[in-house]
Every structure is written in C-alpha cells, then in structure tokens.
Structure 1
Amino acid sequence: MCDSLEERSGVDLTPQALCGRMNSDGAVQFMEAALTKTLRETVGPPLTAQEAAWLAPFPRVLLQDSSQIEVNEALTEAFKGSGGNASTASVKIDFSYDVKNERAEHIAIRQGTDSDQGFATDVLARVRKGDLIIRDLGYFSLAAFAQIMLIGAYFLSRLSYTVNLYKSADEAASPINLIQYINRFGGGQQTMEFSLFVGEKHRLPIRLGTSTK
C-alpha cells in the first residue's frame, strides 16, 4: 500500500505511519465525508427532480441502514462473524444519512453478528423534535417507536407480521385481521390508508398505508 501511494501520489510513508493514519479519527472522518459525497451525488439529483413537498414539514429526514463486510479471520475476537460458509470475522457499518440536508448524521462500526434491531434505540440520543426517521424492517422496535413519538419526531417503517393491530387503544379491544379489514373497509382502491393502533402493550397510534399494485 505504501508503494502504491508513492507511485500514484508521490507520498512517501512508512508502514507504521500508514497504519497510524488508518487507525486515526481522521480516517473515520474521511469515510464519513466519502459516504456523504457519494450519497449527495447519487441521491441528490433524483430527489431534486421529483416533487419534494413532502419533506417540507421535517427539519431533518434521517435514512438509516447497515452494510456488512467480511474481514480477515484474524480479527474474529474484535469483530465476530457468522461463520459457516462466511468468514468468522465481519464488520457491520451502521450509517444514518440526513437526506434533506445532504449530510452524514451518524456512523457506527459494530460486530457482524450484531442485529440491526439492536441499533433501533441508538438514534434516540440524537433525534430531535420534528425529525422523520426512515428505516427498514430490521430496525423494527415498538419501544423505539414509542420513544420517538414522545420526543415529537416521526418514523416510517414497514410493518412486522409479528405485531397486532387494533381499531382502538382500549385494552379490551381485540386485534383485527388485517386482510379482512382491508377487504371490508378499503373500498377496492389500489392505495389505502388506515388509522390504527399497533402493539398489544404499546397501542401506538399509526397511519398504515397499503397498496395492491
């Protein structure tokens, strides 16, 4: 790597100096800047080209996801992987990007065996009133949703099949059969929206959108 750097840019570094730079805070900041630049150039133009009025009410729109990378098995103790056909060592990068303001909001490096749901509550320390948080089903957590709502922020998520839906917050209310409910009250429309409550214990008020397209 040192030889390659010298050949391409004329920078003369010893292996020890390069190792020090790769393990510095500056390396983390560089990765954040590189991810931000890449996302700005790929996400920005399409977002600008389409109607973005739906973003107006939110000061920040945080899009969170993770990516897993296999690394050398010598790093198993620090970054455990799933093993089997995969490496016993892997790194999971959890990244949150503010789509509206086009900048990195947060980055965390975890063990490959850590689940996305384990990151679900981390955002609570950084979320602000009025924010919109968009995450996939891996981050689904009713406890996290409840805290987001208490802060005065909003979330957008796919619905987990493991939770119950209710027509009211009354503890005596029975869960609904969603398919039957859609067929009965959806009016045969391709896109529908219902005001319901989710979670047997939490009974969180939500707007549920469905599509038959």
Structure 2
Amino acid sequence: MNAQASSKLATDYARQLSQFFSTDQLDDWARKTGFIVRARKLSAVGWLKMLLSESANLYHFSLGQECGLLAAQAQIYLKKQSLQERWTPTCIAFLRKVITQLLEQQLGYNSAQLGGPFKRIIIGDSTSFELPACHQNTYKGYGGSSSPSALKIYYEYDLKAGMVIDLQDSHGTHADTRFNRTQQVEAGDLILQDLGFFTYGFYQQV
C-alpha cells in the first residue's frame, strides 16, 4: 500500500472514530490515564491517527516512518527518541480505555430486553495475531514458520450491564484456559465461552 492510499485509509478510520468520540473526550482520557500530562505537540487524536495508518499497512513501521506520518498527517514534528518515549504503560492504559469504550458502544444492548434468572450474562473470547519479530521479548510467538512474536487479547463483556469487565493482553503462546478465574465468577452468572476455555478443573472449582 502506497503512502497516499495509507493516508486516505487512516483518514477514513479517524473519521469513523470521530463518530464515537470527540477530540475533547479523547484528550480527557489521555490526561486521566497519564498519557498526556500537559499541553504538548502530540495530541490523543494525532497519536491514534498514526497508529491507524500503521495498522492500515499491515506491517511494522520504523520510528522514522512513524515520525514521518505524524509530520504529514498532523503537522507534528518529533524526533525518534521523543516518539519512542511515548510508549509507556500510560500509553497502553489510554489505548485500553479507547478500546473498552468502543467495544461498549459497538456491543451496547438494551438490558431491559434481557430477562431470565441470570444476574450477569458474560461473553468471553480471545483473538491473537502475529507481530514483528522485534517484539518477541515482550510478546512471545511460536516461531518456526510463524513470527517469533505474537499477541493475544482477551476480553469479557457483560451483556446485561452493557459493559466490558475485562480486557487483557498476553503472549500469543498462552492458552485460553489461563484466563479462567474462579474468583471472578459470581452466583447467578451465565458465562458463554468456546471450548478452548474448557477444563474440568475450572468447572469443578466453580
């Protein structure tokens, strides 16, 4: 994908994102998570647009390319080291907040339509995908003919409450069963998961 097509696709993504969240709302979440402490060159919207451009290309960008995207798309000029320093736990907290809110809006449901005896209806699932090899120390993959780095994302959604109750990232090599936690199961819960989460030990404890 060339730079012009990538920029157009990222702009389309950003436009869709703006239908769910305002610039002020994104900036507020960035401040509350500590990603943005004070007024600076890099805005929450500019950061997300850069990431959307990178995802549109389906391959890893270098720091230099990411700096180029910021300059071209948002007239934000940062050095590579300054950009690298933005990748902190507060950045991950901000992205997790955006994803959580987006899931809740997309999966929103009128709980008044859900009757039955269950206190909560919890849907749990995971997705995984390969990452560039440079991330293998953070997120391990299986290697071989596949990338040595992979990421798995697990989420739980309470259908009756209309809210995300868990969102985790882990190594791509982790089995789904590791996300089963008996201490988070309450009386009256209906839990919907595929067979990849099934273990006799877990259900015996429940």
Q: How many Å separate the matches in 2 of 1:109 and 1:8?
A: 29
| Contact 1:35-1:104 at 8 Å conserved across structures | no
- 2:110 equivalent among 43, 48, 60: 48
Q: Does 1:23 align with 2:83?
A: no
| Contact 1:69-1:92 at 8 Å conserved across structures | yes
Q: Does 1:84 align with 2:144?
A: yes
Structure with more helix by fraction: 2
The 3-state SS of whatever aligns with 1:22 is coil
The 3-state SS of whatever aligns with 2:85 is helix
User: Aligned ranges for residues 119-134 of structure 1 at < 5 Å?
Assistant: 119-120=179-180, 123-134=181-192
| Contact 1:66-1:92 at 8 Å conserved across structures | yes
Q: Does 1:118 align with 2:178?
A: yes
Match of 2:198 in 1: 140
- 1:39 equivalent among 97, 103, 112: 103
| Contact 2:118-2:190 at 8 Å conserved across structures | no
Q: Does 1:101 align with 2:166?
A: no
Letter in 2 for 1:53: G
The 3-state SS of whatever aligns with 1:107 is strand
How large is the Cα RMSD of the aligned pairs? 2.7
| Contact 2:139-2:170 at 8 Å conserved across structures | yes
The 3-state SS of whatever aligns with 1:53 is coil
Match of 2:79 in 1: 14
Shift of 1:68: 0.8
Change (3 A) 1:27 1:99: farther
The 3-state SS of whatever aligns with 1:105 is strand
Q: How many Å separate the matches in 1 of 2:189 and 2:81?
A: 43
The 3-state SS of whatever aligns with 1:87 is coil
The 3-state SS of whatever aligns with 2:129 is strand
The normalised TM-score by structure 2 is 0.57
Aligned length: 141
Structure with more strand by fraction: 1
Change (3 A) 1:79 1:49: closer
Shift of 1:116: 0.8
Q: How many Å separate the matches in 2 of 1:145 and 1:90?
A: 29
Shift of 1:10: 4.4
- Structure 1 unmatched runs, 5+: 149-213
The normalised TM-score by structure 1 is 0.55
User: Aligned ranges for residues 139-158 of structure 1 at < 5 Å?
Assistant: 139-148=197-206
Write out the 4+ residue segments of structure 1 that deviate beyond 4 Å after TM superposition: none
Using the aligned pairs only, state the percent identity: 27
Q: How many Å separate the matches in 2 of 1:98 and 1:145?
A: 20
1:32-76 CA-to-partner distances (Å, cap 9, x unmatched) read 2232233233322xx43994223x631x33221111121111333
Q: How many Å separate the matches in 2 of 1:16 and 1:76?
A: 21
Larger radius of gyration: 1
Higher relative contact order (CA 8 A, sep 6+): 2
The 3-state SS of whatever aligns with 1:21 is coil
Q: How many Å separate the matches in 2 of 1:48 and 1:38?
A: 16
